[in-house]
Structure 1
Amino acid sequence: MVLYIPPSKPDQIPVIDLSATHTGDVQACQKAVAEIRKAALDTGFLYVCGHGVPDQLIQDQFAWSKRFFELPLAERMAIHLYQSPTRSGYEPMAGQALDADSPPDLKESFYCGEELLADHPFAMASIRGFGHNQWPASLPGFRTQMLAYHAAIKGLGHHLMRLLALSLELEADHFDRYFTMPMANLRLIKYPPHPAHAAFNQIGAGAHTDWGGLTLLLQDQSGGLEVQDVHGTWLAAPPIEGTYVVNLGDLIQKWTNDIYRSNFHRVRNGVSGSDRYSVPFFYSPNPDALIECIPTCQGPDRPPMHAPCTCQAHMDSRWKETYGKL
């Protein structure tokens, strides 16, 4: 069983430099792995720098996101996500309620997933996030940028899963077989300034945990992201130039038998006075991957705490919770 260390009470989310993990520097890689393990035990959140995603690609991603949301509403609604069998496309304002006990979220968004030919088995099965992407007709270049960014950030997700495996005293390639055809969904989100007339507890994104494997988040300079620590205190996760915010999702918590944390977080765009843009990327296992307790995370004193489930079954259940339908 992996040695369990009780969570500490951090006053901020750590920034972890991944530079040496790309070079084969074993000592520096071990340092990063230890830092990842501590963050996974404490809040399930960390920043990463030295991630290898080109800065220009990141800046272009923000620019194209803004162009999309500047399109007339009729053009965005023409690619409404429920017109796609795999739920790719535009989600209008207040289309989702992440906190089931609160009003709908004050945000609008766009989803796209793995681009596949129509005859691919995953596309034919209408598995959410595979094939059937919808693209705005009046925005040439948008599709090219989204797919380029999707490919780059998927590579970072793969790298982080290998580091996570090392942090669990597993071989680096332990999770590789679960991510040969990952559920890899890219989302663009626009949050308006928090309105004075908002309903009670209605914010940009209500308190929630993420559903899948890893979330890799780009956020602009507006601020507003908060993370709950193990004691219930909300920690600010402000923008830091050149970093991604990375957090663990529900499936990592299931895999690790609740040792690593999928943690509550929320967004309230109440300070900037302007629109807030973010670009989360959700990197999750293959749809048919069976998620069951990792052997090193169980023992006589810690039996498995979750029933095995497939990634797709879990993700469908969470989608239905937040949208009311599949």
Structure 2
Amino acid sequence: MTVSSGDKSTFDPQSTFSCSHEPLLPRPDSSCRNRMDKDTEEHGPVPIHWDATPEDHGHIPIIDFSSYSLLKGAVDEDELQPLATQLVQAFSTVGFVYLRNHGIPAALVSRTFEAADKFFALPEEVKTKFSRPADKSHGWVCLERERVTMERPGDLKEAFNVRPPQATEKLWPSEEVPEFQQASLQLYDKCRQLSLRIIELMARGLNIQDVSNFLSLHDKIGTAANGTMMRILHYPPLPERVKPGQIRCGEHTDYGEITILFQDAVGGLEVQSCEGKYVPAPPIPDTVVVNIGDLMQRWTADKLASTMHRVLLPETEEGQKSHRRSIAFFVHPNKDTTIASLDGSNKYPPIKAGEYLDERLTSTYGGRKSEEKTVN
């Protein structure tokens, strides 16, 4: 299924959020053109609940998602549009939000982290048995194998990718950590459910007329016809010698539509502000971080912002000896979806979602297709 860029009725070009971004390629510059001030001038006060002081979460807003929580029974339609407005406002300026009261059980997240800890603690020769095959995305990715910034050495992290359609029994450590598979797949499905609610609200906030049709472009998440993947990431204590320029995760934007991120208490994520400075995005209890990826910025003709972020090395001795964990759920539309400017502007040439991902991976990895680049 596709959403035609030629039919402007699918998207209101006079949407409430008219702040512009620099074209996706090359990357947006660091000024952001004072997006927040611009929106306030044109449309009145920014409709976001700033629930914490800047010291608590930097420039990233916290949004209460309780009106569309996974735990919500009956949904009040009147509550959805204000929530959609808040989300799109944040995504059109900062590109990142914290969601509170999202409905994914904290116990399930903890259980997945604990199972992953057991896996990552296994000897390397054991983990190697579950390495990601060259032709698949599912499986273990060893330390320093990836680098998301080509100017830096390999990232000081390892990962376990979860792609249900490629997750053969041989690629799960069923004997070593029997609970790992069940916890990971349960969390994957909860993230799938939450991502569909976020996408529906984004469509409402962007004034897309046929929300059901737009949502149906994501109905194959968890199958081979969709590239959505979950990554469980482990950043071990720093080695005695760190290569020049090496960090835990280099500066990057995400490839896909949106990313849902769970952080442990260690933190370390930094997000580029509108002024071009990197500011901390610390873990806040009982929240998830959600950000826009490059594909969504392209799809909305730069209306929504895909923002640079990174994970630096800890500065304190205690931090350098610590383990950091995170879980990132990278959401993509179905591979056969045509990505064309939703406002009918044809700002970027139409491309299939699957082809776009392959093209980005090829340009990054020098002709070698690989797993999702972006990690947090």
Task: Give the Cα separation in 1 of the matches to 2:128 and 2:362.
Answer: 21
Secondary structure (helix, strand or coil) at the match of 1:312 reads helix
Task: Give the Cα separation in 1 of the matches to 2:132 and 2:199.
Answer: 29
| Counterpart residue identity of residue 96, structure 1 | E
Asked if the contact 2:59–2:273 (Cα under 8 Å) also holds between the matched residues in 1, the reply is no
Deviates more, 1:229-238 or 1:211-220: 229-238
Q: Deviations over 1:43-97 (max 9, x none)?
A: 21101111111121111111111111011111111121125x3221110001111
Asked if the contact 2:159–2:234 (Cα under 8 Å) also holds between the matched residues in 1, the reply is yes
Asked if the contact 1:39–1:46 (Cα under 8 Å) also holds between the matched residues in 2, the reply is yes
Task: Give the Cα separation in 2 of the matches to 1:132 and 1:287.
Answer: 21
Task: Give the Cα separation in 1 of the matches to 2:179 and 2:75.
Answer: 36
Task: Give the Cα separation in 1 of the matches to 2:290 and 2:241.
Answer: 32
Is 1:294 matched up with 2:342?
yes
Q: Report the CA distance shift for 1:322/1:221 in structure 2 as closer, same or farther (over 3 A).
A: farther
Give the CA deviation at 1:197: 3.1
Q: Which residue, 106, 122, 129 being the options, matches 1:78?
A: 129
Is 1:276 matched up with 2:324?
yes
CA-atom RMSD in angstroms: 2.0
For 1:12, the equivalent position in structure 2 comes to 59
For 1:89, the equivalent position in structure 2 comes to 139
Alignment coverage as a number of residue pairs: 305
For 1:63, the equivalent position in structure 2 comes to 114
Secondary structure (helix, strand or coil) at the match of 2:295 reads helix
Asked if the contact 1:12–1:236 (Cα under 8 Å) also holds between the matched residues in 2, the reply is no
For 1:122, the equivalent position in structure 2 comes to none
Aligned 1:112-261 pairs, distance under 5 A: 112-115=162-165, 130=166, 132=168, 134-137=171-174, 138-171=176-209, 172-182=211-221, 183-195=227-239, 197-261=241-305
Task: Give the Cα separation in 2 of the matches to 1:229 and 1:89.
Answer: 34
Task: Give the Cα separation in 1 of the matches to 2:313 and 2:117.
Answer: 17
The unaligned stretches of length 5 or more in structure 2 are 1-12, 21-34, 38-53, 222-226, 370-376
Asked if the contact 1:193–1:270 (Cα under 8 Å) also holds between the matched residues in 2, the reply is no
Q: What TM-score do you get using the length of structure 1 for normalisation?
A: 0.87
Task: Give the Cα separation in 2 of the matches to 1:290 and 1:322.
Answer: 22
Q: Report the CA distance shift for 1:321/1:71 in structure 2 as closer, same or farther (over 3 A).
A: farther
Task: Give the Cα separation in 2 of the matches to 1:109 and 1:54.
Answer: 22
Task: Give the Cα separation in 2 of the matches to 1:76 and 1:12.
Answer: 39
Is 1:45 matched up with 2:84?
no
Q: What TM-score do you get using the length of structure 2 for normalisation?
A: 0.76
Task: Give the Cα separation in 1 of the matches to 2:293 and 2:162.
Answer: 19
Task: Give the Cα separation in 2 of the matches to 1:323 and 1:146.
Answer: 27
Give the CA deviation at 1:194: 4.2
Give the CA deviation at 1:101: 1.9
For 1:121, the equivalent position in structure 2 comes to none
Task: Give the Cα separation in 2 of the matches to 1:237 and 1:27.
Answer: 31
Secondary structure (helix, strand or coil) at the match of 1:38 reads helix
For 2:362, the equivalent position in structure 1 comes to 320
Secondary structure (helix, strand or coil) at the match of 1:16 reads strand
Percent of aligned pairs with the same amino acid:
31
Q: Deviations over 1:214-260 (max 9, x none)?
A: 11000101111011123211121000000111011111101100110
Task: Give the Cα separation in 2 of the matches to 1:131 and 1:67.
Answer: 19
Q: Report the CA distance shift for 1:219/1:321 in structure 2 as closer, same or farther (over 3 A).
A: farther
Secondary structure (helix, strand or coil) at the match of 1:94 reads coil
Task: Give the Cα separation in 1 of the matches to 2:140 and 2:275.
Answer: 36
| Counterpart residue identity of residue 66, structure 1 | D
Is 1:34 matched up with 2:77?
no
Asked if the contact 2:137–2:163 (Cα under 8 Å) also holds between the matched residues in 1, the reply is no
Task: Give the Cα separation in 2 of the matches to 1:252 and 1:192.
Answer: 32
| Counterpart residue identity of residue 97, structure 1 | R
Q: Report the CA distance shift for 1:93/1:131 in structure 2 as closer, same or farther (over 3 A).
A: closer
Larger RCO: 1 or 2 (CA < 8 Å, sep 6+): 2
Task: Give the Cα separation in 1 of the matches to 2:88 and 2:99.
Answer: 13
Asked if the contact 2:81–2:201 (Cα under 8 Å) also holds between the matched residues in 1, the reply is no
Task: Give the Cα separation in 2 of the matches to 1:31 and 1:38.
Answer: 11
| Counterpart residue identity of residue 210, structure 1 | D
Task: Give the Cα separation in 1 of the matches to 2:103 and 2:285.
Answer: 14
Secondary structure (helix, strand or coil) at the match of 2:155 reads coil
| Counterpart residue identity of residue 214, structure 2 | F
Give the CA deviation at 1:152: 1.1
Asked if the contact 2:112–2:180 (Cα under 8 Å) also holds between the matched residues in 1, the reply is no
Deviates more, 1:188-197 or 1:86-95: 188-197
The unaligned stretches of length 5 or more in structure 1 are 116-129
